[in-house]
Every structure is written in C-alpha cells, then in structure tokens.
Structure 1
Amino acid sequence: MKPTIYDVAKKANVSISTVSKVINGTGSISEKTKKRIWKVIDELQFQPSIASSVKKAMKTIGLLIPDISNPFMAEVTRAIEDNGRKKGFNVIICSTDNDSTKEDEYIAMLKQKYVDGMIVATGLKNSDAIRQLIESDIPVVMLSRDVPKLPVHTVMVDDFQGGYEAGAYLARLGHRKIAMIVENINIPSIKNRVNGFKEGLTDSGLSSDDLTILYSSLDLDESGQVCLDLLENQENRPTAIFVSTELLAFGVFRAARTLMIQIPNELSIVGFDNSILAKLSNPPLTTVAQPIEEMGDKAVELLVDEITNNKEELKKVMQRVVMSPVLIIRDSTAPIS
C-alpha cells in the first residue's frame, strides 16, 4: 500500500494539517519540525496528491450544516457561500443530517481535502469529531452553535433574548393559555429559547409553570399530530403557540386547518428564524428573525482573517460574537378576543 499523509503525520508525531502546511509552504512551522517531516516523507517515499500542490490556488472552506433541506440552513449556506466568494474562497457544503457518524466522516474528509478552514453550523454530538477539531491546526468557526470546550471563534444569535421577546409579546396581546413546541431541549440554543420565553412570560406577570411544552421532530406529519393532540382538547386549548423553529409552525398550521381553528383570531403563532417560509406562509408568520446575512458575513470574516494572517497570537484571541434577534410582527398573531 502507498503511504498516506496519515502515515507521515503519525511517524513524525505531528498533526495532518502540520504535514500539509509543510508540503504547501504555509503556516509558521519551525525549521526543526520541517526537517523532521521531510525526512519522514523521504523515508516513506510519500508522494503528495495533486490536491495539495494546488491547495493555495483552490482557497477552499468546508461548511458543516445539520440539514440542507431546512430553509433557514439553506439561507445560512447561501450567505456563507456568497461572502466566501467575495473573499476569493470556494465552499464545500456537507449536510450531516444530525448524524454523529456523518459529522466524524465529513470532518475527516475535509481535513484530507486540505481545506483552508471550516465553518461548523451543526451540534457536533460526536466527541471524536470535537476532538479532531481541537487537535487540528485548521482554523474553525462555530456558527449558530456554542461548544465552549472548543478553542474556536463563535458567531451566534442571542437565543435567550429571542425567546424573551416572543414571550413578552404574546403576554402583551393578552394571551394566558400558551404552549411551546420544541424540537430538542438538549440543543443549547433551543434550551436558551425556552428559558428566555419563560422569563418573558414571568416578567409580564404570568406564571411559566402553566406553560405547556411539547416536543416534536421537524417532520411535518409528526409535528402536525403533536399539534392535533394539543388543539383537540377544547377545554384546555391554548390561544397562542411559540415554536422553537419555523418548520414546526407548519405542523401548527396543518392542525389548525384540520380543526377549522382560525389563525390569528382563535390561535396566534410565533416562530423563530425568519426564513423565506415565514413570509410565504398563510397567514405570514410572526417570527423572531436571526440576522442571517450578518452572521454569515462575520463567520467568513473571522475564518478568512485567521487563514490569511497565520499568526499564533491571532488564534489565542477567540471571539464569541452574539448578535441580537428582532421580532418581526406579521399576520399570524392578534390580541386575545
């Protein structure tokens, strides 16, 4: 078998990206380390791939997202791709489907492809994937996800504030029977939205203990059934529902149509994200908007700065950029009648 870059890295006792930098003449690598790596390359008779020799010309960023079919993630991807191209970088898109095995495989693949850096917009459930990123010399930026143990830049929205604004708004409209439907409370961003929503209610004089919280996947059939079960009980039927992400709102719309519940006269709905679906829904969805363009721009800016500067001191100053959401009021909400 032909030796690989993994064999060189293992025998030289360095990371794969360090070998890559030595081969491509990039980064700040000591002469002693360079000599050791070139010696191992000669000993193993390793021949670098064509990809490594043209790496500098390719200028490529890897992007990991949980699900490309999610409209919000599709818009995030477009923002990153547009901003990356403005700075001369191509973007490789990897959709993990929230699968921890895929996370690990994609990160390994991107490292092997010699990408200049990665933007990670998925939860990283796989500890091996997290370890790979920590040990890698490849610049990384987390987007919309917060992994405190990773020494990387982070760009995210203030999820707590977004949830708070939604709770306070529904309270101002006079709603008292309120429910929330969430996809996964174990995701930190979702948990922050729930906690913010609860505090928005309590600061408005309501008891969050009375808040009904239901869980559903993003599958339309499942979320629709969850909403049907919730809304069929006329005695305890909520007059307002807040969903942790907009795809869940369409389960509410479907259930309301089935039960002939009028939106917003009998049921108000507030979403989170402000994807294109919020504007196209019937009625248009009141939602908490994430600044998608600004987030994508900042993520690319931080990553490219680290890639191009190649300064060790830059890597020590990791930025955690938290942007403010905005409540966009449309026709899916109304004062309680």
Structure 2
Amino acid sequence: MKVTIYDVAAKAGVSIATVSKVINNTGKMRDVTRHKVLEVMKELNYHPSVMASALMGKATETLGLLVPDISNPFFSEIARTIEDRAHEQGMSVIMCSTDENEVKERKYLELLQRKQVDGLIVASSFNDRNILKQLVKNDVPLVMLTQHDAALGVTSVSVDDFTGGFEATSHLFSLGHKNVIIIAENTPSSKMRLYGYREAHEAHDMVFSEDNIIRTNASVANGKKCFDEILKREQQTTAIFACNDLLAIGVLQGAKEKGISVPDRLSLVGFDDTILAKTTAPALTTIAQPIEDMGNRVVDVIIETIKGKISSKERILYKPKLIVRETTGKVIDS
C-alpha cells in the first residue's frame, strides 16, 4: 500500500501543512517537530514527491526536464522545443543535464522536488530504475522521452530506434558495403539501434560480427578516437554507422585529418539529423528524428497527465526517416 503525506502527518501527530513545510524546508517550527516528521518519513519509507505541492493545492506551473547531456545538439534542440511548447501552455521548464551519472540524477531530482515542479520529463537513462519506480509509486506525473520502459507503467515518447538502426545499416549494404562497423552508446535508444543493425545483417544475408561493435559515450572526441581504433584493424572498413550525429562528426573529422575521402573511401551514416548534420562538409547522411513533433507531444502529454486527463499509459512511437546527403556512396573497387 502506497504511503502518502497524510499517513506521515497522522503517524507524526502533526498537520499536513507541517509535513509539507518539512518536505520543502520552509516555515518556522521547533527542531524536535521537524526531527519527528523526518523520522516518521524514514520509518514509513516515504519519499517526498513533486506532488507534495499539488497535494497542498499549490501548483507551480513548472516542469522538470532531465536530459543526459545538453551539449549534445539533439537534446539542446528538443529542450528548446519543449521550452517553447511549455511557454505556450503557460508553463516554465527547469532543465538538468545529468551526464548519465547516478549521483547527479539523484541530486537533480531532489532539486526539482524542492522547486516543487508539477511534473517530470525524463530523457536521462537512470541506471537505478528504482528511483523512477518510487516516483511513479508516489503518483508523480512522469513521462519518458527517447526511451520506453514497460515495467514503469508510464507514457513514453520516442522514435522507433530499431527501425532507424535497420534503415541506416540497410542503406550502407545497398551501396555494396559488406563490412559495416557500428559505433554505439550504452543507452536504451542506442541498444535498440544496435538490434536494428543486427537485423539488417540477417535481412541482407551479411555475416554479423561482434568485433564490428564499438561502444563509447557520445562526443565528437570519442568519435575521433573510435575512428583511430578502426584504422588500426587489418580488414579495411568502407562504412560506419554512428548511433548519433556527434559521434559521426568525430569520425568525419578523423577521416579529414587522415586524408581519407568521404564518401569515396568511407561511407558514414549518423543518427538524429541535428543542425550539425546539415552544416558539415560533406553534409551528413543520417537518420532523422522528428525533434519538433516529439518535443511538442511530450509537453502535451505531461500536462494532460498532471491534470489527470490520461488514465491509460501508452508508447508513442515516431517513425524515423533516412536522409541521404553526401557522406554515403557506392563502394569503389581498389
């Protein structure tokens, strides 16, 4: 049975308002009272939720947004869309960049609770899913972005990463490439893109090798490092699928520094279709996510959830689109 703020107040022998003041660290009270409430919260395993303010009838018209890395253009672009849509709906957004770090994730959740946000949009992976499960248990309005977790039982907004990975790899196979290397992250979305990459091998009767999977974190610098690693291999690589545009740009920079022509000697596909993909030279072939549609939808969903208008939880899945530009071409025989 879920423990509520009312249970804490009853057990501690204080008013709900007093519990709320302890949760939000506001108002004046005796230290002994504050200590007693905290002890009861611990005893009942009650975790203050962002709903504490709503329970007191004090909606703040503020949303919390947790992203892995705001320096990644995909997240900066979708965060801007979210902010604009929220503003249209009379809401403000507090954004936190977690770096997929568990300590930061906990810290920022505590911050957002103190700010009494009305709901959460979560794009960070949260390796410790118990944190999110506890929020859901406490009836915190929460929507997942860029990932889906059926076990959480909340609405999610994401792109079909599996199909995106399949289309990226299939495009390279259709150009005659046989040895396609994938550079992937250890994130839920990237893992699904990897599954699509595997499936494309089977669909095109290509030999799949675990050795062709390189895992790293998303950054231009890491993309360059991975490319340097690829160059040291005995077997020549003619095609690379990078699971986001940042990694792809790193590969592209590495190729330029090594004097390797793209796409004449190396074909490259990214994922996201951020502003970077459109401004590189050559322009990047990539899998486009409908960033604006996803950003707008996730705001609409979280607001409807806050208002109690959504009872059923659904997986909102957008279709990715292959955007062919200048970094992919047919294999040139040596």
Secondary structure of the structure 2 residue equivalent to 1:208: coil
Out of 48, 54, 57, which is 1:21 matched to?
54
Distance 2:232 2:96 in 1: 40
Deviation of 1:15 (Å): 6.1
Q: Aligned equivalents of 2:55 and 2:38: distance in 1?
A: 11
Residue 88 to residue 9, structure 1, CA distance change in 2 (3 Å): farther
CA contact (8 A) 2:222 2:247 kept: no
In 2, are the aligned partners of 1:62 and 1:92 still within 8 Å (CA)? yes
C-alpha displacement at 1:228, in angstroms? 1.5
Is 1:144 matched up with 2:146? yes
Q: CA deviation at 1:9?
A: 8.4
2:136 aligns to what? Answer: 134
Is the contact made by 1:264 and 1:332 (CA closer than 8 Å) also made in structure 2?
yes
- Please list, as runs of the form range in 1=range in 2, the aligned pairs for 1:117-266 lying within 5 A after superposition: 117-184=119-186, 187-209=187-209, 212-233=212-233, 235-266=234-265
TM-score (norm 1): 0.82
Q: Bigger CA drift: 134-143 or 212-221?
A: 212-221
Secondary structure of 2:94 counterpart: strand
Question: Contact 1:103–1:129 at 8 Å: present in 2 too?
Answer: no
One-letter amino acid of the structure 1 residue matched with residue 321 of structure 2: V
Q: Cα distance 1:262–1:162, how it changes in 2: closer, same or farther (>3 A)?
A: same
CA contact under 8 A between 1:167 and 1:199: conserved in structure 2? no
Q: What residue number does 1:30 align with?
A: none
TM-superposed CA distance for 1:173, in Å, is: 0.7
SS in 1 for 2:297: helix
Distance in structure 2 (CA, Å) of the matches to 1:128 and 1:246: 31
1:310-331 CA-to-partner distances (Å, cap 9, x unmatched) read: 36xx33x111111110000000
Q: Call closer, same or farther: CA 1:19–1:205 in 2, change over 3 Å.
A: closer
2: distance between equivalents of 1:10 and 1:294? 45
Question: Percent same amino acid at aligned positions?
Answer: 38
Indicate conservation of the 8 Å contact 1:15/1:137, yes or no.
no
Pick closer, same or farther for the CA change 1:213–1:9 going to 2, 3 Å.
same
Contact 2:146 2:158 in 1 (8 A): yes
Going from structure 1 to structure 2, the CA distance change for 1:126 and 1:98 (only over 3 Å counts) comes to same
Aligned twin of 1:294: 293
Cα deviation 1:243-287 (Å, max 9, x = unaligned): 111111122112212221100011000001111111111111000
Whether the 8 Å CA contact 1:9–1:15 is kept in 2: the answer is no
| Alignment-mate amino acid for residue 293 of structure 1 | E
- Distance in 1, matches of 2:178 and 2:210, equals 9
Question: 1:60-114, CA deviations, whole angstroms, 9 ceiling, x for partnerless residues?
Answer: 1110001111111101101111111111111111111111111112112212221
**Structure 2 matches for 1:104-115, cutoff 5 A?**
104-115=106-117
> Partners in 1 of 2:74 and 2:284 — Cα distance?
14
Deviations 1:172-228 (A, max 9, x none): 1111122111122xx221111011012123212322238711122334334312211
- Runs of at least 5 residues in structure 1 that lack an aligned partner in the other structure: 25-54
Give the corresponding residue for 1:5: 22
User: For residues 33-52 of structure 1, what are the structure 2 equivalents within 5 Å?
Assistant: none
Q: Tell whether the 8 Å contact from 1:104 to 1:128 is kept in structure 2 after alignment.
A: no
2:318 to 323, 328, 331: 323
Are 1:291 and 1:323, in contact at CA under 8 Å, matched by a contact in 2?
yes
Structure 2 spans left out of the alignment, 5+ residues: 1-17, 24-33
* Closer, same or farther: CA 9–292 of 1 in aligned 2, 3 Å: farther
Partner letter of residue 125 of structure 1? Answer: N
Query: Aligned ranges for residues 98-109 of structure 1 at < 5 Å?
Result: 98-109=100-111
Q: 1:11 to 1:281 in 2, by over 3 A?
A: same
The Cα of 1:134 is off from its aligned counterpart by 2.2
Is the contact made by 1:5 and 1:19 (CA closer than 8 Å) also made in structure 2?
no
**CA 1:252 to 1:16, structure 2 compared with 1: closer, same or farther past 3 Å?**
closer
Q: Is this contact kept in 2: 1:9–1:16, CA < 8 A? A: no
Bigger Cα displacement from structure 2, 59-68 vs 128-137: 128-137
Secondary structure class of the residue paired with 2:209: helix
Q: Distance in 2 between matches of 1:237 and 1:258?
A: 18
Q: Is the 8 A contact 2:282 2:326 kept in 1?
A: yes
Q: 1:142–1:154: 8 Å Cα contact kept in structure 2?
A: yes
Q: Tell me if structure 2 keeps the 8 A contact 1:101–1:126.
A: no
**1:160 positional shift:** 0.4
**How many Å separate the matches in 2 of 1:21 and 1:101?**
27
Q: How much does 1:154 deviate?
A: 0.6
SS at match of 2:240: strand
Distance 2:290 2:201 in 1: 24
Q: Is the 8 A contact 2:147 2:158 kept in 1?
A: yes
Partners of 2:227 and 2:190 in 1: CA distance = 19
Name which of structure 1's ranges 141-150 and 324-333 shifts more when overlaid on structure 2: 141-150
Q: Which amino acid aligns with 1:123?
A: S
> Which letter does structure 1 place at the counterpart of 2:71?
S
Indicate if the aligned counterparts of 1:182 and 1:214 stay in contact, CA closer than 8 A: yes
